[in-house]
């Protein structure tokens, strides 16, 4: 931890052997607790998670890694990180062999729900199950290489999102490509895996965030429309564009938790132009105004699996933002930005 109220004092918490360039070891505070953090780790031939009480120093181990936690702090949902690493390197973890590496849609891989207190877990969505659900062209996906990625639980802890992705080529095919070649559809489901709903069947879903228990803001390209951020209402066909002119490119979008949490969107851009500048910003939805938070140069050596996106995230009160950036020549750093004067 870094204590910003004590001279930026560094406090060591532990180590991890389950780590990726884009999402680290999923280190996060446990919702509902003011002292517990959780991160993913590896024990020999399996991935696990560690929960540490930063006040007492007590550490306990859960038998599965975590991807996203429910806001009530009771549950974790998680995916198969070994399979993700095979089919989307940089987003999973190395070090554990995938027993289903040669299977396109295994029955024993998919999404698990785990009890945060007991560690008990259940496979709630399988890749075999997903592959049987036809794509929008009417064809099943049983002959594709299926995996899931990017899970996120709704603010009321009742439903969660996941991206179902598939490829034509498997990890051992000579024509396999790391950063493209996959198709995506976005599902929501209850926390036990029941009542799945294809919220975005377009094939293009990218970054997304829950605005509230009923709405999701995502970058995508709905059929017959241009790529943009769209607001979806869960379990309906209702969709509307968001920030059409002020948020015209894809980024890592979240909502600032100020007042009702619907007014401010925190976002960034991928490097643009010959100067490779990344641009974090906040967008005020009611007034359609965009407030820039700076331009940060991304050196050309930061590319591919080890690129460094800004990945902006805010403090609980929405007045501070942290970004990742290697600008300035000192390698990857965390930069703290004060936005309190903007958000008022």
Top pLDDT among 195 and 22 is at 195
> pLDDT tens across 69-122, in order?
999 999 999 999 999 999 998 899 999 999 999 999 999 999 999 999 999 999
Query: What are 185's two structure tokens?
Result: 């559809």
* Partner residues linked to 322 by β-bridges: 313, 336
- Residue for token pair 């280190």: 27
- Residue 188: strand pairing partners: 161, 197
Model confidence band, residue 306 (pLDDT cutoffs 50, 70, 90): confident
Whether the Cβ atoms of residue 280 and residue 268 lie closer than 8 Å to each other: yes
CA 90 – CA 306 distance, rounded (Å) = 8
Instruction: Give dist(CA 325, CA 262) in Å, integer.
Output: 27
Tokens at 164, concatenated: 């179902």
Q: H or E element: which one contains 69?
A: strand 68-69
Instruction: For residues 232-259, give the mean pLDDT.
Output: 96
Domains of the chain in sequence order: 98-343 (2.130.10.10)
CA of residue 51 relative to chain centroid, distance = 20
Other CB atoms within 10 A of residue 80 CB: 28
C-alpha to C-alpha distance for 213 and 235, rounded to whole angstroms:
11
Instruction: Specify the 3-state DSSP secondary structure of 306.
Output: helix
Provide the pLDDT for residue 260. Answer: 85
Average pLDDT, the chain: 96
Are 205 and 242 within 8 A, CB to CB? no
Burial, 307: exposed, middle or buried (Cβ in 10 Å; 0-12, 13-18, 19+)?
middle
What is the C-alpha separation between 202 and 248, in angstroms, rounded? Answer: 19
Q: How far is CA 123 from the centre of its chain?
A: 20
pLDDT at 304: 85
pLDDT at residue 178 in the model: 80
- The mean pLDDT of 260-274, rounded to a whole number, is 93
* pLDDT value at 179 more than 80: no
Question: Is 220:227 a contact under the CB 8 Å cutoff?
Answer: yes
Per DSSP bridges, beta strands 208-212 and 110-115 are unpaired
Supply angle C-alpha 191, 149, 265, rounded to 5.
80
Among 265, 260, 261, 275, which residue's Cα sits nearest to residue 244?
A: 265
Three-state DSSP string of 167-188: ECCCCCCCCCCCCCCEEEEEEE
Q: What is the mean pLDDT of residues 138-167?
A: 98
pLDDT exceeds 80 at position 180: no
d(CA 256, CA 240): 20
Per-residue exposure over 258-285, b if at least 16 CB sit within 10 Å of its own CB, e if not: eeeeebbbbbbbbbeeeebbbbbbbbbb
Give mean pLDDT, residues 36-64.
Answer: 97
Report which of residues 152 and 179 the model is more confident about: 152
Rounded to the nearest 10°, the torsion over CA 296, 298, 299, 304 is 170
Query: Per the structure block, which two tokens stand in for 150?
Result: 């990017």
Assign 279 a pLDDT band (cuts: 50, 70, 90): very high
In 3-state terms, the chain is what percent helix, strand and coil (to 5)? 5, 40, 55
Task: Give the per-residue pLDDT at 259.
Answer: 82
């Amino acid at each position: 931890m870094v204590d910003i109220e004590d001279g930026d004092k560094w406090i060591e918490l532990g180590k991890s052997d389950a780590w990726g360039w884009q999402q680290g070891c999923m280190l996060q505070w446990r919702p509902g607790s003011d002292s517990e953090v959780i991160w993913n780790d590896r024990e020999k031939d399996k991935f696990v998670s560690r929960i540490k009480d930063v006040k007492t120093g007590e550490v306990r181990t859960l038998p599965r890694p975590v991807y996203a936690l429910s806001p009530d702090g009771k549950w974790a949902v998680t995916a198969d990180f070994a399979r993700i690493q095979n089919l989307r390197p940089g987003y999973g973890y190395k070090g554990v062999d995938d027993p289903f590496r040669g299977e396109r849609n295994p029955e024993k891989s998919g999404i698990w729900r785990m009890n945060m207190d007991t560690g008990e877990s259940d496979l709630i969505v399988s890749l075999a199950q997903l592959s049987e659900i036809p794509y929008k062209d009417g064809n099943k996906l049983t002959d594709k290489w299926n995996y899931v990625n990017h899970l996120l639980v709704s603010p009321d802890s009742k439903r969660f999102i996941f991206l179902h992705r598939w490829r034509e080529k498997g990890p051992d095919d000579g024509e396999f490509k790391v950063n493209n070649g996959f198709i995506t559809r976005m599902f929501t489901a209850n926390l036990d895996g029941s009542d799945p709903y294809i919220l975005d069947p377009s094939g293009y879903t990218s970054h997304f965030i829950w605005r509230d228990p009923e709405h999701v803001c995502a970058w995508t390209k709905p059929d017959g429309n241009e790529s943009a951020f769209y607001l979806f209402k869960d379990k309906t066909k209702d969709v509307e564009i968001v920030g059409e002119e002020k948020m015209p490119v894809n980024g890592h979008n979240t909502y600032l938790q100020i007042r009702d949490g619907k007014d401010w969107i925190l976002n960034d851009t991928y490097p643009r132009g010959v100067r490779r500048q990344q641009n974090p910003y906040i967008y005020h939805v009611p007034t359609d105004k965009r407030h820039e938070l700076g331009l940060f140069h991304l050196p050309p050596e930061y590319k591919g699996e080890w690129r460094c996106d800004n990945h902006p995230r805010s403090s609980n009160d929405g007045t501070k933002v942290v970004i990742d950036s290697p600008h300035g020549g000192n390698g990857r750093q965390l930069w703290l930005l004060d936005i309190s004067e903007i958000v008022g």
